[in-house]
Amino acid sequence: MEPITVFILLGSLISVAIIAGFSSGLFGIGGGAIMVPALHYTFKALGIADEVTMHCAVATSAAVIIVNSTRSVRRHHARGAVDMDILIPKQLWRSYALWIGVGSFIAAWFIAPKLSAESLTLIFAIVAMLVALQFILGRPDFILRKTVPGGIAPPLVGSGVGGLSALMGIGGGSLSVPLLSLCNVPIHRAIGTASGFGLAIAVPATIGFIISGLGVSGRPLFSLGYVNGVGFLIIAIVSALMVPVGVKAAHAMDAKKLKRIFGFCLLAVALNMARETLFL
């Protein structure tokens, strides 16, 4: 590969890392919606087989989210913005984090190698558009419930959010922040708690992708399963430095304005996913 090509690729990864780290702290979304497309195009430029580029992009993104979410949840927790009663309650079976992790592992280990990435991307794009429009156009005080539901909701909703997030290589904030907000959780607290969900998604997802990718041919060099070590190191190191900046920005902004910004960012990501799936 030409030196100029290597320089461009490294510059692209560093730029993606800066944006991903900042968005992880600002919105609690882990940065996966930015990392997955960027890694996909990077692997394609390196000549990696089309059959594994998306799997490797999603898996590497999940691994980076472990680092981003760890720093993000610690920063938000220090500001009292993580609801531990939702994340890890005393009754463990009621823990959203537990069921999110279960769904994430099953999706990465068993489902991901069997399903089309294109169809899953389109499904997520449609759901994300609807959620984004609610944030942009919906009434700021609109809620569906006064509290986050318990009972059978954690196993059903948690495993669903975890599974879909793992398959898309995202930290889950794109889904869980709107869900928490609709259950009367203040936006800053929803974002802080979502960063904890991101960690519950990323750890089991990464393990699952490592297991399901072992022995698969055509993967990039320096890969463990579907997780590429080079992409992980570059993005994880740089993006981790940007997470505190994003957290500080989130707590300095007005809640209404933050909701609108989150909505526009999510809509842009969703439209781009739909465009790539339908027209490329």
d(CA 29, CA 26): 8
Global pTM value: 0.81
Mean local confidence (pLDDT), 27-47 = 75
- Summarised one tens digit per residue, pLDDT across range 168-222 is 787 777 778 888 988 989 888 888 898 899 899 999 999 999 999 999 998 988 8
pLDDT at 226: 95
Give the residues across from 227 on adjacent strands: 224
User: Residue 100: which pLDDT band, with cuts at 50, 70 and 90?
Assistant: very high
Average pLDDT, rounded, for the chain: 83
Domain ranges of the chain: 3-279
Give the residues across from 228 on adjacent strands: 223
